[in-house]
Amino acid sequence: MNILETKKITKHFDGVYAVDGLSVSFEKGKITGLIGPNGSGKSTLINLLTGVIQINAGSVVISSKEEVIKILPHEVSDYGITRTFQEVRLFEQMLVIDNILVVLTKRNVFSSLFETHKKFHLERAEEVLKKVDLWKKRNDLAKNLSYGQRKLLEVGRMLAMSNGFGDDSDIFFLDEPFAGLFPEMRKIVIGVIRHLKEQGKTVILVEHNIDIIRELCDHIIVLDNGKLLAGGIPSDVLSKREVMDAYLGE
Amino acid sequence: MDYLIHIAILIGIYSILALSLNLIVGYTGLLSITQAAFYGIGAYATAILLTSFGMNFFLSIIVGMIITGVVSLAIGYVLSKFDGDYFALGSFGFNIIVYSIFLNWQSLTRGPLGIPGISKPSLFGLDFGENIIFLILVIIFALAVYFTSRFITNSSFGRVLKAIREDEKAIEVFGYNTLFFKLTIFAIGAMIASIAGALFASYITYVDPTSFALSESIFILAIIILGGLANNKGVVLGVVCLVILPEALRFVGFPSDIAAQMRQVTYGLILILLMLYRPQGLLGEYKL
Amino acid sequence: MKKIIYIIIVIVVLIGLIFIITKNKTPKDTSIIKIGVAVDLSGYAANWGEGEVKAVQLALDQYKDKISQPVELIIENTKGNDVGTVSAVKKLIEIDHVQAIIGPTWGDSYQGGMPIAEQKGIAMISPSAAIETLKNKEKFTYFFSTWWPQTSEINTLIDHMNLSDIKRLAIVNDQDPFDIEITDSLKKNIEANGKISVVSREMFPVGVKDFRTIIAKIKSNRPEAVFIQVTDTSTMGPFMKQLKEQNVNIKVYTTPDAENTDNITKFPNAFDGILYAFPSYGQDSSYNALVDRLKSKYGAGASQGPSFVNAYNAATMLFEVLKGGARTGTEIRDALNRVNVPGVGSKDLSFSPQGQLQDVTFIMKTITNNQFVEIK
């Protein structure tokens, strides 16, 4: 069953089509790899589906129920969607633990001012930070973390959105989460992705490392010049000539 | 002694103002240069209600806060269409508009002539006319504002404000309608500033537009930058320094024909040195 | 680093407090008369305040040997705002224990000092406060002003307009609060007079130098004369020049600020024909003598500021009552209510019951061939 579908969505920047009439679907509970050469539209697609930028044409169907032509960024979590960013976007001058706690807060102004469930949130934050091995750094400022730790914190923040607390996220976009990570840290992120799948969540992973794609993904979508080039199970897709030519340059 | 009480009262009033702006600039990252406008609305509300309608001072504070809250929501909504430097410029423009209203709506504000004869507060027979009693009142308000600010900034709401300051787009993606949060804190900051205005009007017993010009907004901004953005204690320390310093310089013996100018130069030099060696402010950790 | 900052701040605050407390604990030296001078030395009206200080010093030079005790002037900066004015007045009264205050500059714009002086019973004479604008002035018996009664100046202008058979007048002024207030007053008096219609009223921000649109608007209303009032007198030259460029050949009335040699030098002949009311002191030899003393003490280039003569007269009246033996606040106030002394521009400087300098006459003047000339 498809949890998310795009119907001929288009995005252009000053006449340059970053995503061009793209129709793709993402299966519920699976890990889908989104691959393609640089500039193929992968990050643009994620930005469109998370409201960071707006669709010029086409629509998006969410959970087979709602068809939308406009996604506002603050509505994204209502659709059960969350993400990490390609360039790490943490709340730099806040503590590590606050970077997690802030996404656990009630979304309503009044409720957040008189927050209840503080103990629950702290427990959840501890759980998440331990999962990404940052619990010891919880009282450091995010800007003082190393590059790899910052990546892990972003993953942790995204993980906190599956908080088992009513407004759970179901769809997780990870945009190049492994870039620049040491092997030890990669294992942590792989562990998080597998954990999400075990929970029945849907993961969409943008990644250039083909080994990781082969290891983790149930399904692959290949983009090129903003269009769909191929889609299917990894063994099929990665053996296609056009994919090798476009992506691997062979 | 009365002179020291006078300085303490000014510290109290400016602390309230600075804490109010700190919520908007320091914690939320909205570079607002319009706080003197809200300060002025509160002052004029009290001045008009006391002199023309004989209203009780404390009631006039509530009315002033309501008026300021409504105005700030309108201004805040318009300003929310801008980012960064454009927000600052827009807020700058609003301060000028509000100042012009104070100056030109003569039937209400007496324009450049100002409103004199504003009485000191009284409540249930207790008269706050004596400066020492007025100081106690100012301290009570300042403490209330300080603890309210602390409550706000330590709450989950405060955490969201900081996230907005750090990366608004990112926190939006996690489900926060940042417009509502920004409008709320803008209105809270404005209403707190109006309390300072009411106290100012009653203390000086006279208001005129010149006290609420752009230069006052810039002065309040300077206080919070000097004291330390997003640090309530730092902000109060900034107030203490910027109120006491020029007064202390009155006692430094420069030759009388250049004394005033030398004091201004000395004041300016001290500020420059502080910013050179402590750009995050005296107690600040956050840089703009 | 934080500790060092704390230490520095604590030291600064302590030094400040020590000064204050030490000053406060100094026993009042009754052998010296202390007079406060609360003026704007760094704000918007700094050129007014600078002139006021010099004038008071010059007046003291005339009186120091006539008063039985030495007189010390304590000068405080009001910084051109309400808070600065209140701080200056409080410091002078509470810390320096002055017996009277000359000031504040623009006492009508910064009224915060008045209730303090009234409460403490200290006489204040402002050289630049339009008493007519003060609401509830009767509550402030310790406040006096030696600024020109605006009604005298306005009535002199209106009389001249009537004599010149002006029926249609345009008024142009900047948005300085005082200028708005005076031109409002002029408009009100003209309307009450009934012979002249105000056909146009244009306001602009202080410092504007491009008047072409304003002049075009005025021109369309066909006035026979225009009255202009500005705070930044350097804008008068461009106005006069642009009037001529747009062929607007009407009479131009303005304020005593027209007597500005800088303007005449920068815009030669542009001001010819301009009309203004001027206090009659200008014809007085005492004024010329005062200017000579100013130049002798402060240099040939010393500027006066718009309230120089007013401050000199304020100081003269105060020192006269001190010479007569008044020492306490009440004695000084009561003596000021009775004082009658020659000053600059008047043989009988005295205050009305409202504390306003009275019997100031204005004459009409014009500029001809870059010279300031009385219209007889």
- In this predicted model, what pLDDT tens digit does every residue of A107-125 receive, in sequence order? 889 989 988 778 888 999 9
Q: Collapsing DSSP states into helix, strand and coil, what is residue B78? A: helix
Class (C level, CATH) for C32-147+287-349: alpha beta
In the chain, the amino acid numbered C294 is L
> What topology does CATH give the domain C150-273?
Rossmann fold (3.40.50)
Cis previous bond, C104, omega within 30: yes
The angle formed by the CA atoms of residues C342, C344 and C345, to the nearest 5 degrees, is 95
The answer on pLDDT for A161 being more than 80 is yes
Q: Do C181 and B6 touch (CB under 8 A)?
A: no
Per the CB < 8 A criterion, the answer to whether C149 and C69 are in contact is no
Which residues in chain B touch residue A167, judged by CB atoms under 8 angstroms apart? 175
- Give per-residue pLDDT as tens, A128-146: 999 999 999 999 999 999 9
Is the entire prediction scored with pTM above 0.90? no
CB atoms within 10 A of CB C152: 17
Cβ-based contacts of B181 with chain A (< 8 Å): 109
Chain A residues touching residue B165 (CB < 8 angstroms): 93
What are the tens digits of pLDDT across the range A66-112? Answer: 788 899 999 988 888 999 999 999 999 999 999 999 999 888 899 89
Whose structure tokens read 């504007």?
A: C208
Which of A83, A98, A109 is the closest to B173 by Cβ?
A83
Please tell me which residue of chain C has the smallest CA distance to B206.
Answer: C112
| C-beta separation of B6 from C93 below 8 A | no
**pLDDT tens over chain B, length 288 residues:** 889 999 999 999 999 999 999 999 999 999 999 999 999 999 999 999 999 999 999 999 999 999 999 999 999 999 999 988 899 999 999 999 999 999 889 889 988 888 999 999 988 888 888 899 999 999 999 999 999 999 999 999 999 999 999 999 999 999 999 999 999 999 999 999 999 999 999 999 999 998 999 989 999 999 999 898 999 999 999 999 899 988 888 888 777 777 777 878 888 888 888 888 888 888 876 666
Taking an 8 Å cut-off on Cβ atoms, the answer to whether A74 and B162 are in contact is: no
B225, B277 contact by CB (below 8 A): no
| Ranges for all domains in chain C classified under CATH 3.40.50.2300 | 32-147+287-349, 150-273
Q: What does the pLDDT look like over C206-233, one tens digit per residue?
A: 888 999 999 999 999 999 999 999 987 7
- Find the mean pLDDT for residues A217-224: 92
Q: Output the pLDDT for position C178.
A: 76
Which stretches of chain B sit within 8 Å of chain A by CB?
A: 152, 155-157, 159-160, 162-163, 165-167, 169-178, 180-181, 184, 285-286
Q: Which pLDDT belongs to residue C16?
A: 60
Is the pLDDT at A166 greater than 70? The verdict is no
For chain A, domains (ranges, CATH) are 1-80+170-250 (3.40.50.300), 88-167 (no CATH)
Rounded distance between C-alpha atoms, residue A71 and residue A49, angstroms: 7
Q: Give the whole-angstrom CA distance, residue C61 versus residue C290.
A: 11
In whole angstroms, what is the distance from residue B178 CA to residue B161 CA? 9
What pLDDT tens digit does each residue of chain C (376 aa) get? 666 666 666 666 666 665 555 554 444 557 899 999 999 998 878 888 999 999 999 999 999 999 999 999 999 999 988 999 999 999 999 999 999 999 999 888 888 999 999 999 999 999 999 888 787 888 899 999 999 888 888 999 999 999 999 999 999 999 877 788 889 889 999 999 889 999 999 998 888 899 999 999 999 999 999 999 998 778 888 999 999 999 999 999 999 888 777 788 888 888 999 999 988 875 667 888 898 999 999 988 887 888 999 999 999 999 999 999 999 999 999 999 999 999 887 778 999 999 999 878 889 999 998 888 888 8
Contact B1 C24 (CB under 8 A): yes
Which residues lie across from A59 on neighbouring strands? A7
The amino acid present at C138, given as its one-letter code, is E
- Cβ-based interface (< 8 Å): residues of A facing B: 50-52, 73-78, 82-83, 85, 89-94, 98, 101-103, 105-107, 109, 112-115, 118, 157, 161, 167
Kindly report, residue by residue over A49-72, the tens digit of the pLDDT.
999 999 999 999 988 777 888 999
Report how far apart, in Å, the C-alpha atoms of B230 and of each of A110, B22, B28, B144, C326 are: 21, 6, 9, 18, 56
The domain locations on chain B are 2-214
Number of Cα atoms under 13 Å in the Cβ half of residue B144:
10
Tokens of A206: 């943008």
- Give B160 to chain A, closest Cα distance, Å: 6
